[in-house]
Each structure stands twice: as structure tokens, then as C-alpha cells.
């Protein structure tokens, strides 16, 4: 009997932390991984406004569009970026709104995007992962006049362009003050711990209320894409066959 109840509890826990998306037509469901791990606290996965992203790609190099989507969560972004930080959650929240403006059906075509970010380690990684843009192919442009978590995103096929940024009143200025102190070299070990606490508190605030309270999106009609900052090393070719007819 004890084993039975343990099995029920385990099943309930798994249902809580993985959210299969019905893929339809007998296809296997798409999993959304929000299982807590040492680098991914339970509250972050369960927060009501924590962003996740359905993305559309191709099936292979020179492949056609995939019929199914994938789901990228904050946990996936942390695995790519390396750590859970305020900048990662802030950037993901900002890009959730920017990409909603470009893809009203909420399925993000990662073969059809380019982006401009500053050179923040955190925001730049989120920009690249979520959009499929790469600086080496000229689709991820770096502009250090932008603030952290300020992005300009363009749907290449239509030219639609949006800018997203943090509302000034939503940003905790003590984070920037302490960041400047740490980067000046004049910091104590306690400052590093305080910084993490400040950032995580900021992240928690962001994902426990509607993202539109923290970010603002504006359309940029007739936006002119800036000249590349990297030398021309060639363009991406592996997505060129996404609309090829079936045999
Ligand atoms: Zn980071």
C-alpha cells in the first residue's frame, strides 16, 4: 500500500513538472522541461508568468520545415548560458513580448529572424538561442549603445521589426549600482552574494506578474538594418531548403 501511494505521489510530481503539449495527428507530445534541479529552482519553473517558447526549425541540414515545434524553457536557456541570472530571465521576458508581436500564433520561426543586442553575456546568449540568429552569419548584430535586455528583432521575410526594453520603473537600480561596484574591482565577497540575491529577487518579481508590466514593445516601421560589425564569413545555408516541395 505504501508503494502504491509513493507511486501516486511520484506520478503527481511528474505531472506537475512536465507539461506535454498535444502535437495532434497521433504525433508524440512535445515536452516542456521545468523539473527542478540544483541550477533551476522549483519556483522559477512554477511561476505563473515564467516565459517559455514554442520554436519552429527545419528537420535536418538542407531539411524542410519540421511539422512539430520544440519548447524552450528558462531551464533550457540556463543550460546553454551556464547559470541562472537576472539578465537571463529579464532577456527572456523581454523577448517573449517581442516575439509575440512578430508571431501572433506564438510559434517562433527560428529560420526567419535576426536580432540586435548589446554584448551582454547573458542577454546576447538568450537572443541567439531564442531567435537562431548568429553573429558569425551576420544575423545577430551587436550594438553596445543598447541597454542590457534591450533588443531589436526583425522577421526577415516580412521586414516587420520591433524594439523591446525594460520599463525604467521596473528595474531595481540597486542591481546596477552593485554591478558597477563589483566590476570596478572594489568589492567584498559579501557583495557577490548580495548581487546574486538581488538578481534572483528581481527575476522572481518579473515572473510573478504579467510581463507587460515590466517591458514595453514598439514597432519600428522602415527600420534600416545596420552594417555588419563582423567581417563577412559567409551566410547560413542550412535553412535554404525549408520550403522545398515533398517528393
Ligand atoms: Zn548570466
**117 vs 20, residue with greater confidence:** 117
Per-residue pLDDT reduced to its tens digit, 136-161: 999 999 999 999 889 999 999 999 99
**What DSSP state is assigned to residue 166?**
E
Lookup result for grid cell 567584498: 188
Ligand 1 centroid to Cα of residue 79, in Å, is 11
Percent of the chain with pLDDT over 70: 89
Does residue 9 sit within a domain?
no
**Spatial separation of the C-alpha atoms in residues 136 and 139, rounded to whole Å:** 8
**Spatial separation of the C-alpha atoms in residues 184 and 60, rounded to whole Å:** 46
Ligand 1 centroid to Cα of residue 39, in Å, is 12
Ligand 1 centroid to Cα of residue 9, in Å, is 34
Ligand 1 centroid to Cα of residue 78, in Å, is 8
Q: What pLDDT is stored for residue 3 in this prediction? A: 47
Cell (9 digits) for 241: 531548403
Ligand 1 centroid to Cα of residue 86, in Å, is 7
Ligand 1 centroid to Cα of residue 76, in Å, is 13
Does residue 246 sit within a domain?
no
**Spatial separation of the C-alpha atoms in residues 221 and 161, rounded to whole Å:** 7
Ligand 1 centroid to Cα of residue 207, in Å, is 17
Mean pLDDT over all residues of the chain?
A: 90
**For the whole model, what pTM was predicted?**
0.88
Ligand 1 centroid to Cα of residue 123, in Å, is 7
Does residue 133 sit within a domain?
yes
Ligand 1 centroid to Cα of residue 25, in Å, is 39
**Which region among 57-66, 174-183, 211-220, 228-237 has the lowest average model confidence (pLDDT)?**
228-237
Q: What pLDDT is stored for residue 18 in this prediction? A: 54
Does residue 235 sit within a domain?
no
Q: How many separate domains does the chain show?
A: 1
Does residue 144 sit within a domain?
yes
**Spatial separation of the C-alpha atoms in residues 151 and 167, rounded to whole Å:** 13
The DSSP H or E segment spanning 54 is strand 53-56
Pair 46, 34: CB distance under 8 Å: yes
Does residue 44 sit within a domain?
yes
The DSSP H or E segment spanning 147 is none
Q: What pLDDT is stored for residue 138 in this prediction? A: 92
Q: Where would I find the H helices in 115-243?
A: 121-131, 173-183, 189-206
Does residue 145 sit within a domain?
yes
Does residue 202 sit within a domain?
yes
Q: What pLDDT is stored for residue 21 in this prediction? A: 65
Q: What pLDDT is stored for residue 167 in this prediction? A: 96
Per-residue pLDDT reduced to its tens digit, 225-238: 999 888 888 888 99
For 113, list phi and psi in degrees, rounded to 5.
-135, 150
Q: What pLDDT is stored for residue 231 in this prediction? A: 86
Say which CATH number the domain at 122 has. Answer: 3.30.1330.130
Domain that holds residue 183: 20-219
Ligand 1 centroid to Cα of residue 182, in Å, is 15
Q: Where would I find the H helices in the chain?
A: 2-17, 42-46, 74-81, 86-102, 121-131, 173-183, 189-206
Ligand 1 centroid to Cα of residue 85, in Å, is 5
Ligand 1 centroid to Cα of residue 113, in Å, is 23
Mean pLDDT of 106-135: 97
Ligand 1 centroid to Cα of residue 120, in Å, is 8
Amino acid at each position: 500500500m505504501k508503494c502504491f501511494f509513493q507511486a501516486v505521489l511520484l506520478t503527481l510530481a511528474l505531472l506537475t513538472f512536465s507539461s506535454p503539449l498535444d502535437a495532434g495527428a497521433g504525433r508524440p507530445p512535445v515536452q516542456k522541461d521545468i523539473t527542478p534541479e540544483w541550477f533551476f529552482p522549483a519556483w522559477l519553473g512554477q511561476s505563473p508568468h515564467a516565459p517559455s517558447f514554442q520554436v519552429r526549425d527545419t528537420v535536418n541540414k538542407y531539411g524542410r520545415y519540421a511539422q512539430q515545434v520544440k519548447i524552450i524553457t528558462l531551464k533550457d536557456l540556463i543550460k546553454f548560458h551556464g547559470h541562472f541570472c537576472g539578465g537571463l530571465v529579464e532577456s527572456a521576458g523581454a523577448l517573449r513580448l517581442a516575439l509575440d508581436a512578430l508571431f501572433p500564433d506564438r510559434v517562433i520561426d527560428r529560420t526567419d529572424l535576426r536580432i540586435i543586442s548589446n554584448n551582454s553575456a547573458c542577454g546576447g546568449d538568450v537572443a541567439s538561442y531564442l531567435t537562431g540568429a548568429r553573429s558569425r552569419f551576420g544575423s545577430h548584430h551587436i550594438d553596445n549603445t543598447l541597454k542590457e535586455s534591450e533588443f531589436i528583432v526583425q522577421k526577415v521575410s516580412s521586414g516587420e521589426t520591433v524594439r523591446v526594453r525594460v520599463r525604467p520603473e521596473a528595474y531595481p537600480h540597486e542591481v546596477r549600482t552593485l554591478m558597477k561596484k563589483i566590476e570596478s574591482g572594489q568589492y567584498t565577497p559579501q557583495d557577490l552574494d548580495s548581487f546574486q540575491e538581488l538578481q534572483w529577487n528581481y527575476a522572481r518579481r518579473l515572473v510573478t506578474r504579467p510581463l507587460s508590466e515590466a517591458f514595453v514593445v514598439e514597432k519600428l516601421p522602415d527600420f534600416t538594418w545596420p552594417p555588419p560589425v563582423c567581417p563577412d564569413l559567409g551566410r547560413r545555408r542550412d535553412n535554404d531548403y525549408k520550403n522545398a516541395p515533398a517528393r
